[in-house]
Amino acid sequence: MNNVNVKINGREYAVPAGSTILDAARVAGVEIPTLCYLKDINEIGACRLCLVEVKGARGLMAACVTPVTEGMEVLTNTEKVQKMRKTNLELVLSTHERKCLSCIRSQNCELQKLCRDYGVEDEEHFKGKVNHMPKDESTPFLVRDNDKCILCRRCVGACKNMQGIGAISALDRGFDTHIGSAFELPLNTTSCIGCGQCVVACPVGALYEKDDTAPIWEALNDPTKHVAICAAPSVRATIGECFGYEPGTDVEGKMVAAIKRLGFDGVYDMNVTADLTILEEAHEFIERFTKGENLPLITSCSPGWIKFCEHYFPEFTDNLSSCKSPQQMFGALYKTYYAEKHGIDPKDIVFVSAIPCTAKKFEVRRPGQCAAGEGIYDVDYAITTRELARMIEKAGVNFRALPDEEFDTPFATRSGAGEIFGATGGVMEAALRTAANAILGTNLEKVELGEVRGTAPIKYATYKLGDITVNVAVASGTKNARELLEKVKAGEVKVDFIEIMACPGGCVNGGGQPVQSAATKATVDLKAKRAAVLYNSDANNAIRCSHDNPVVKELYEEFLEKPGSHKAHEILHTFYIKRGL
């Protein structure tokens, strides 16, 4: 790759040709402030916080969209630059609701940090009309508060450019510009899939998940309720970020210890039902493959993807695995098997899942999710990684000082296959490990399937299992899912088994995960670092395949009979809706 020679604040650097000034400054160890910028998603130069001086230029230049040229001399912190950035921040604040103390993003707000850095006081330098708009609280998964919106359009970029949906955009013009859905429709009437990528893209508190912690606190304080919780694989790989740990730190033991101090009657590992999902899904794949019916089989663990399929590809709903997600399977088993075994009325159970996903809040109230009886939902509340961290903070639990503790039995033993569910390709790899055993009668000699690993948007692989050849595909991010399914429809791609995750990189990059700044996202591969926690855990697990999990074996022996049985279908399987647009 050719390099370009530039000067940043008087020092010379060689940077790759095609770099922007923002990229070049990072090579020099200088972080230029931004608000609207999101690498590869929203590069529009709208907020004007990244203004710099370029020698020979007539005015200040936006660093995020200005490419460097040979011999360019850039000054990033002159008095003129700093004064203009402060003025721009004051203009942003002039229409911003400044309720910082109670804001969900307080102390983790990019606008708040910049105002502190540039000495912006809480004064009204630009007085005038302020538009006040009602919050959109129509969905079960997120809230949009346009009074805190700074019109950076990151959410629009995430929805349209990254996910390929476009459920929101900038409406009206000039001073009346605001973010919303077409025709001012409430979000719950649109084809929004609830992935939450708009939430983790937002630099301020204009978008946040619908908080479900209040009724959980109420249940925890009600002696008549049995309150249990299970934690998804990727939460242990990310929640540490909320407490100052570097991305990619495995804090499973401290997470379990912290949750136990909140007062739950049981703290369990969702990996157990990830293993259970694999047994049901692998059995389903083999049955369909043998009969040649409704292929390719498509995984069903990601509720954002399921809703995307129902809206945009309803013709593929018959191809979806009928398996409930691990979250829903756990709640279903807890309110049937566990309740029966321990003599607890399912109506007295409050079951919670800690999950990296905002779409799971929609999933808990989907039809077909009441295994214990009509009106008794499998899962009562799904809380994001962020909500769980806030509960821990509110309870005064010193997360970093806690000793490591283990999940409660009987749902504590998991396989490595269940652990990798949170990374794109993980469900496919886990399912193939078990399908191979069923076909070959023995486990694969090498269970790591590198072809479906990694964060590439779409991956293809072919596996020879005895006399059978299985063609598979993996996609993450609904924009990439659309590309894959269009190729399948057109006959350009012929596959037998597809894994799709709604969020790019899988659950480790879910819309309910800890929020990181645009600068961190541009310089740290969060998806890879977080996924590495799950793959390392898999590699160090003595049990590598879901069908070898003794807890799962016991569940079938005592209650579910066998994979694909009538009872298993009643409790662990569901159905879908052809919604269309």
356 close to 513: Cβ distance less than 8 angstroms: yes
Average pLDDT of the residues in 447-460: 95
Q: How far is CA 426 from CA 166, 332, 390, in A?
A: 28, 23, 28
CATH of the domain at 190: 3.30.70.20
> Within 10 A of 138 (CB to CB), how many other CB atoms are there?
16
Token pair in block for residue 433: 């490990």
31 close to 8: Cβ distance less than 8 angstroms: no
302 close to 502: Cβ distance less than 8 angstroms: yes
| Distance from C-alpha of 393 to C-alpha of 242, rounded to nearest angstrom | 10
* Per-residue pLDDT tens over the stretch 35-74: 999 999 999 999 999 999 999 988 999 999 999 999 999 9
- In this predicted structure, the answer to whether residue 124 has a pLDDT above a threshold of 80 is no
- In this predicted structure, the answer to whether residue 110 has a pLDDT above a threshold of 80 is yes
* Per-residue pLDDT tens over the stretch 353-373: 999 999 999 999 999 999 999
Q: Which of 209, 227, 254 is the last residue of a domain?
A: 209
Per the domain annotation, does 120 fall within a domain? no
Per the domain annotation, does 28 fall within a domain? yes
Q: How far is CA 294 from CA 323, 460, 467, in A?
A: 15, 20, 21
Residues 88 and 198 in one domain: no
Helix axes 478-490, 303-312, angle to 10 degrees: 50
- In this predicted structure, the answer to whether residue 303 has a pLDDT above a threshold of 90 is yes
Task: Quote the pLDDT of residue 580.
Answer: 76
Q: Which residues pair with 170 in a beta bridge?
A: 179
How many whole angstroms from its chain centre is CA 165? 16
- Select from 433, 412, 426, 407 the least CA-distant residue to 544: 433
- In this predicted structure, the answer to whether residue 83 has a pLDDT above a threshold of 90 is yes
Task: Quote the pLDDT of residue 118.
Answer: 95
Token pair in block for residue 102: 């109670």
| Distance from C-alpha of 500 to C-alpha of 506, rounded to nearest angstrom | 8
Q: Which residues pair with 51 in a beta bridge?
A: 62
Per the domain annotation, does 559 fall within a domain? yes
441: Cβ–Cβ under 8 A, 6 or more apart, which residues? none
3-state secondary structure of 307: helix
Task: Quote the pLDDT of residue 1.
Answer: 66
Task: Quote the pLDDT of residue 126.
Answer: 79
Percent of the chain topping pLDDT 90: 95
Q: How confident is the model at residue 163 (pLDDT cuts 50, 70, 90)?
A: very high
Residues 335 and 419 in one domain: yes
Q: How far is CA 119 from CA 94, 109, 231, 435, in A?
A: 15, 15, 41, 60
| Distance from C-alpha of 563 to C-alpha of 536, rounded to nearest angstrom | 28
Q: Which residue has the tokens 């004007």?
A: 48
Residue range of the domain that includes 252: 214-572
* Per-residue pLDDT tens over the stretch 234-283: 999 999 999 999 999 999 999 999 999 999 999 999 999 999 999 999 99
- In this predicted structure, the answer to whether residue 315 has a pLDDT above a threshold of 80 is yes
Residues 312 and 352 in one domain: yes
296: preceding bond cis by omega (within 30 degrees): yes
Q: Which residue has the tokens 């479900």?
A: 212
Task: Quote the pLDDT of residue 128.
Answer: 76
- In this predicted structure, the answer to whether residue 284 has a pLDDT above a threshold of 70 is yes
Task: Quote the pLDDT of residue 104.
Answer: 95
- In this predicted structure, the answer to whether residue 192 has a pLDDT above a threshold of 90 is yes
303: preceding bond cis by omega (within 30 degrees): no
- Region class of 360: left (phi > 0), else alpha (psi between -120 and 50), else beta: alpha
3-state secondary structure of 112: helix
List phi, psi (to 5°) of 377. -70, 145
Residues 266 and 406 in one domain: yes
Residues 361 and 398 in one domain: yes
CA pseudo-torsion sign 260, 274, 433, 453: negative
Residues 75 and 185 in one domain: no
CATH of the domain at 40: 3.10.20.740
Residues 317 and 330 in one domain: yes
Q: How far is CA 131 from CA 97, 151, 228, 443, in A?
A: 10, 13, 44, 63
Amino acid letter for position 465: L
Q: Which of 93, 121, 142 is the last residue of a domain?
A: 93
Residues 220 and 243 in one domain: yes
Per the domain annotation, does 253 fall within a domain? yes
Residues 220 and 205 in one domain: no
CATH of the domain at 373: 3.40.50.1780
In the chain the first and final C-alpha atoms are separated, in Å, by: 45
Per the domain annotation, does 114 fall within a domain? no
| Distance from C-alpha of 276 to C-alpha of 257, rounded to nearest angstrom | 25
Q: Between these two residues, 452 and 124, which has the higher pLDDT value?
A: 452
Q: Give the number of domains in the chain.
A: 3
Q: How far is CA 235 from CA 90, 522, 533, in A?
A: 37, 22, 11
| Distance from C-alpha of 88 to C-alpha of 82, rounded to nearest angstrom | 10
| Distance from C-alpha of 262 to C-alpha of 265, rounded to nearest angstrom | 10
Q: Which of 209, 237, 255 is the last residue of a domain?
A: 209
Per the domain annotation, does 560 fall within a domain? yes
3-state secondary structure of 264: coil
HSE (CB half, 13 Å, CA atoms) of 140? 14
Per the domain annotation, does 75 fall within a domain? yes
3-state secondary structure of 534: helix
Task: Quote the pLDDT of residue 392.
Answer: 98
Per the domain annotation, does 439 fall within a domain? yes
Q: How far is CA 190 from CA 165, 186, 308, 358, in A?
A: 10, 7, 11, 16
* Per-residue pLDDT tens over the stretch 558-577: 999 999 999 999 999 999 99
HSE (CB half, 13 Å, CA atoms) of 577? 11
Burial of 116 (C-beta count, 10 Å sphere; 0-12/13-18/19+): exposed
Residues 433 and 487 in one domain: yes
Token pair in block for residue 445: 């000699």
Q: Are strands 207-209 and 142-144 parallel, antiparallel or unpaired?
A: antiparallel
143: Cβ–Cβ under 8 A, 6 or more apart, which residues? 135, 136, 137, 207, 208, 209, 210
CA pseudo-torsion sign 103, 105, 111, 112: positive
Task: Quote the pLDDT of residue 8.
Answer: 96
Percent of the chain topping pLDDT 70: 99
Average pLDDT of the residues in 403-410: 96
Residues 344 and 458 in one domain: yes
- In this predicted structure, the answer to whether residue 140 has a pLDDT above a threshold of 90 is yes
Average pLDDT, the chain: 95
Token pair in block for residue 82: 């700093």
Residues 292 and 354 in one domain: yes
Number of H helices, E strands in the chain: 21, 17
| Distance from C-alpha of 507 to C-alpha of 409, rounded to nearest angstrom | 25
- In this predicted structure, the answer to whether residue 125 has a pLDDT above a threshold of 80 is no
